[in-house]
């Protein structure tokens, strides 16, 4: 056995890793627990990185998941600034980049993902940023005063949130999206069109259906060359095109993997004594019709953490949580319940013109998801419809005079 050993070693100190430690203690686990994380900070919330932290309205201390003292008080060791490079499932130990070997009784792999990078010419010029860690955002803000023209590549949540947060500084923000609408991967057209109009109204230039051919500049980026040949001048580029799950050491150790490491309903990987949770874990999700998917959300990170902790203490419960998500842009709060992928009909409930409405997604007549924009009641009441897979006539769903909670009963 290695000299250094923890009964539970959690690799990754993000939302999932932090919650796993909290849940173990809540489950009265008395063994030794350590969180080993590549970042030098105690666990912090990632969502504000593209919202309040980027906009400069929340300090880092205010986005810590727990106060710094919490971990020592709960007997959770924080091993920060350490990256696991090898997992040995037979010896039950990990090796870090710094050459430290640490043994474990149970390993929880909670490593999230790395931002997907562009691969075109110029992708590694200075002035090109991603938004995944505090260090990413601090680097970006460190250059902020010297830049005037920002190009954001990718019209998913992170690109849109970053555009919203940065648009208030009076600089030029242009968002380039390869699909013909923003949020194409995660939402229906009414929602995309609404957000496009909002961003334009706040001065963001949107270029849709536009591919990037390369980034130009000598040392530092000066422009984004589009597939059309046109050049967008840029002093800073922010790339938000998704993540690649950080699972290499587990895959090398023999874990079954696809798009992420495969886990069962209790978040167990195919390797003994190793669970995986959060953004890096691919699981069969009830709300995706059983499809094996990865979810990138705080809800999934937290709920899978609890599932793994319970399994370790012998009070196993299968993971079956209803997916939910939120996104803040300008004064708009989007709340999503369920998973809309694969919908075959979308019902608009309310009027986007008054900036409070919902989109209800159906598959074969069943409610599978709701996107609620400044419509908290629909979000709260819609949960039961999604959970039940309720079959409700579209004209009733569209009728705002009928609260959603009444529809389940009718």
- The contact set with ligand FAD (CB under 6 A) reads 11-17, 36-39, 46-47, 49-50, 83-84, 110-112, 131-132, 158, 246, 249, 278-279, 296-299, 301, 325-327
> Closest residue to ligand FAD, Cβ-based?
14
- Nearest in space to 33 (alpha carbons), one of 63, 2, 75: 75
Rounded to a whole number of angstroms, the minimum distance from the CB of residue 110 to ligand FAD is 5
Sheet holding 236-239, edge to edge: 128-129, 236-239, 149-153, 172-177, 205-208
Question: What crossing angle do the helices spanning 298-313 and 15-26 adopt, rounded to 10°?
Answer: 40
Q: Which CB sits closer to ligand FAD, 221 or 277?
A: 277
- Nearest in space to 153 (alpha carbons), one of 141, 164, 162: 162
Q: Which CB sits closer to ligand FAD, 46 or 275?
A: 46
Give CA–CA dist 273/315, Å, rounded.
15
Report the DSSP pairing between strands 84-88 and 93-96.
antiparallel
Rounded to a whole number of angstroms, the minimum distance from the CB of residue 391 to ligand FAD is 28
Give CA–CA dist 239/267, Å, rounded.
31
Q: Which CB sits closer to ligand FAD, 39 or 216?
A: 39
Rounded to a whole number of angstroms, the minimum distance from the CB of residue 336 to ligand FAD is 9
Q: Which CB sits closer to ligand FAD, 176 or 301?
A: 301
107 touches 94 (CB < 8 A): yes
Q: Which CB sits closer to ligand FAD, 154 or 249?
A: 249
Q: Burial letters for 190-217: b for 16+ Cβ neighbours within 10 Å, e otherwise? A: bbbebbbebbeeeebebbbebebbebbb
Give CA–CA dist 186/382, Å, rounded.
18
Q: Which CB sits closer to ligand FAD, 15 or 349?
A: 15
Rounded to a whole number of angstroms, the minimum distance from the CB of residue 83 to ligand FAD is 4
Q: How many CA atoms lie within 13 A of 87 on its CB side?
A: 24
Rounded to a whole number of angstroms, the minimum distance from the CB of residue 278 to ligand FAD is 2
Rounded to a whole number of angstroms, the minimum distance from the CB of residue 282 to ligand FAD is 12
Q: Which CB sits closer to ligand FAD, 269 or 390?
A: 269
Please name every residue paired with 44 in a beta bridge, in sequence order, or none if there are none.
64
Q: Which CB sits closer to ligand FAD, 196 or 279?
A: 279
Give CA–CA dist 236/54, Å, rounded.
15
* Structure tokens belonging to residue 400: 């705002």
* Structure tokens belonging to residue 347: 């019902």
Q: Which CB sits closer to ligand FAD, 379 or 390?
A: 379
Rounded to a whole number of angstroms, the minimum distance from the CB of residue 90 to ligand FAD is 19
Rounded to a whole number of angstroms, the minimum distance from the CB of residue 44 to ligand FAD is 9
131 touches 117 (CB < 8 A): no
Q: Which CB sits closer to ligand FAD, 110 or 224?
A: 110
Rounded to a whole number of angstroms, the minimum distance from the CB of residue 65 to ligand FAD is 10
Rounded to a whole number of angstroms, the minimum distance from the CB of residue 111 to ligand FAD is 3
Which DSSP category does 126 fall into?
Answer: B
Tell me which H or E stretch contains 371. Answer: strand 366-373
Length of the chain: 410
DSSP 65-104: SS-THHHHHTTEEEEES--EEEEETTTTEEEETTS-EEEE
């Amino acid at each position: 056995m290695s000299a250094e050993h923890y009964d539970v070693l959690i690799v990754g100190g993000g939302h999932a890793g932090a919650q796993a430690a909290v849940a173990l203690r809540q489950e009265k686990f008395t063994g030794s627990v350590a969180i080993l994380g590549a970042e030098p900070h105690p666990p912090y919330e990632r969502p504000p990185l593209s919202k309040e932290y980027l906009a400069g309205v929340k300090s880092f201390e205010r986005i810590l998941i727990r106060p710094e003292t919490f971990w020592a008080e709960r007997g959770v060791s924080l091993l920060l600034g350490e990256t696991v490079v090898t997992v040995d499932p037979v010896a039950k130990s990990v090796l870090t980049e710094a050459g430290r070997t640490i043994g474990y009784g149970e390993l929880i792999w909670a490593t999230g993902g790395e931002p997907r990078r562009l691969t075109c010419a110029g992708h590694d010029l200075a002035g090109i940023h991603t938004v995944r860690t505090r260090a990413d955002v601090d680097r970006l803000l460190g250059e902020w005063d010297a830049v005037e023209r920002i190009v954001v590549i990718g019209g998913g949540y992170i690109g849109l949130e970053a555009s919203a947060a940065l648009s208030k500084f009076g600089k030029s923000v242009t968002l380039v999206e390869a699909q013909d609408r923003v949020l194409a991967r995660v939402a229906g057209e009414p929602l995309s069109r609404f957000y496009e109009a909002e961003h334009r109204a706040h001065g963001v230039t949107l270029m849709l259906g536009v591919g990037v051919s390369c980034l130009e500049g000598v040392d530092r980026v000066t422009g984004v060359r589009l597939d059309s040949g046109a050049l967008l001048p840029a002093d800073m580029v922010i790339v938000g095109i998704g993540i690649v799950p950080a699972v290499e050491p587990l895959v090398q150790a023999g874990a079954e993997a696809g798009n992420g490491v495969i886990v069962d309903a209790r978040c167990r990987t195919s390797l003994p004594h190793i669970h995986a949770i959060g953004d890096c874990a691919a699981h069969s999700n009830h709300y995706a019709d059983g499809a094996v998917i990865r979810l990138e959300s705080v809800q999934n990170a937290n709920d899978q953490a609890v599932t793994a902790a319970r399994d370790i203490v012998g009070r196993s419960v299968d993971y079956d949580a209803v997916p939910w998500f939120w996104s803040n842009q300008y004064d708009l709060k989007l709340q999503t319940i369920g998973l809309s992928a694969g919908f075959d009909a979308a019902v608009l409930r309310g009027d986007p013109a008054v900036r409070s409405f919902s989109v209800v997604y159906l598959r074969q007549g069943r409610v599978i998801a709701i996107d609620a924009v400044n419509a908290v009641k629909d979000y709260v009441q819609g949960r039961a419809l999604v959970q039940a897979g309720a079959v409700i006539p579209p004209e009733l769903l569209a009728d705002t005079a009928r609260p959603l909670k009444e529809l389940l009963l009718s």
